[in-house]
Amino acid sequence: MILGDLELIPLLDGFFRLDGGAMFGVVPKPLWVRHAPADEQNRILLAVRPLLVRGARTMIIDAGIGDKMDPKSCAIYGIDRARDLDASLAAAGVAPEDIDIVLASHLHFDHAGGFTTRDGSGALRPRFPNARYVVRTAEWEDATHPHERNRASYLAENFVPLMDAGVVDLVPGDGPIMPGVRVVRTGGHTMHHQIVFIESGGRTAEFAADLMPTTAHVSEPWIMGYDLYPMDTLAFKRSFVREAIARDYLVFFEHDPVVAAGYIREHEGRRRVEPVPV
Ligand SMILES: [Zn+2]
């Protein structure tokens, strides 16, 4: 997928499952189940889709769940990495050594799990040996000082070893990360959750991360129960989706099991996503 001077390649680090009720917050099950069928444990299927951006540098935005989850967690979350990030990167012709920048939307395990890996001796090390890892300063603070509500999502093994290795660049606010790529804080899901705008050749693509994890979440009240500040999600999404429709943004959906990217359309007050083949 070409956007001006940049090449965008949606990657896949397999699939996992989360409780459907938690994924759709206040939306009643008879409505959400039409979009996302539930299994016998009420879980719905979600994909894990980091995005590769090739331009002045080679960047990956988020890096999936990774391979460090214990068997119990793998069962709870239904983790299926039969098609994992290594295979996906190889298919794109990119080796882990080629990645210059790893950009974090936030540090939850389904986004940062692939930031580190265990070497032969069991020690944790950066998964991308030549990369700088770019994390928003306040998100780093929150992830390293978890509380009862977010502790299960922030696993220190995914990011603390990066700081020990000296490969983290903390970025205090909104702004450019490399030519054509900038971050904007949304709040909502976590206080400092951020999305990524990719702009080149007069076109805009946008990596929505957990602001809108699936295409079903483009409707304003469809907000995850996981979000710490759902009214902030609502406020950001309300203005952002209008902008995305008006300006024809290509939106990447990190957790949609079917649609990696598409354009949001609105007709007679109903929103849908027109998928783009990838
Ligand atoms: Zn997520």
Instruction: Report pLDDT digits (tens) over 125-137.
Output: 999 999 999 999 9
110 Cα: distance to centroid of ligand 1 (angstroms): 5
State what percent of residues in the chain have pLDDT above 70.
Answer: 100
Predicted confidence (pLDDT) per residue in 15-63, tens digit: 999 999 999 999 999 999 999 999 999 999 999 999 999 999 999 999 9
pLDDT of 186 reads: 98
Angle at CA 118, nearest 5°, toward 146 and 95? 110
Q: What is the pTM of this model?
A: 0.97
Q: Taking Cα atoms as reference points, which of 31, 77, 13, 7 lies closest to residue 221?
A: 31
Average pLDDT over residues 185-210: 97
* Residues 218-226, mean pLDDT to the nearest whole number: 96
CA of 160 relative to ligand 1 center, distance in Å: 19
Output the CA 268–ligand 1 centroid distance in Å.
Answer: 30
Q: What number is the average pLDDT over the span 192-196?
A: 98
Q: Is 225 in contact with 272 (CB distance < 8 Å)?
A: no
Distance 211 CA to ligand 1 centre (A): 9
86 Cα: distance to centroid of ligand 1 (angstroms)? 19
Distance 255 CA to ligand 1 centre (A): 7
Average pLDDT taken over every residue of the chain: 97
**What is the 112 CA–ligand 1 centroid distance (Å)?**
9
Distance 103 CA to ligand 1 centre (A): 14
Joined tokens for residue 142 = 């929150």
User: Ligand 1 center to residue 62 CA distance, Å?
Assistant: 10
Rg of the Cα atoms in the chain: 18
Q: pLDDT at position 278, please?
A: 78
Predicted pLDDT at 269: 85
Sequence-distant (6+) residues with CB within 8 A of 65 are 13, 14, 16, 48, 79, 81, 109, 110, 113, 114
pLDDT at 76 over 90: yes
User: Which are the contacts of 76, defined by CB distance < 8 A and separation ≥ 6?
Assistant: none
CA 155 to ligand 1 center in whole angstroms: 14
pLDDT (0 to 100) of residue 62:
98
What is the pLDDT confidence band of residue 181, given thresholds at 50, 70 and 90? very high
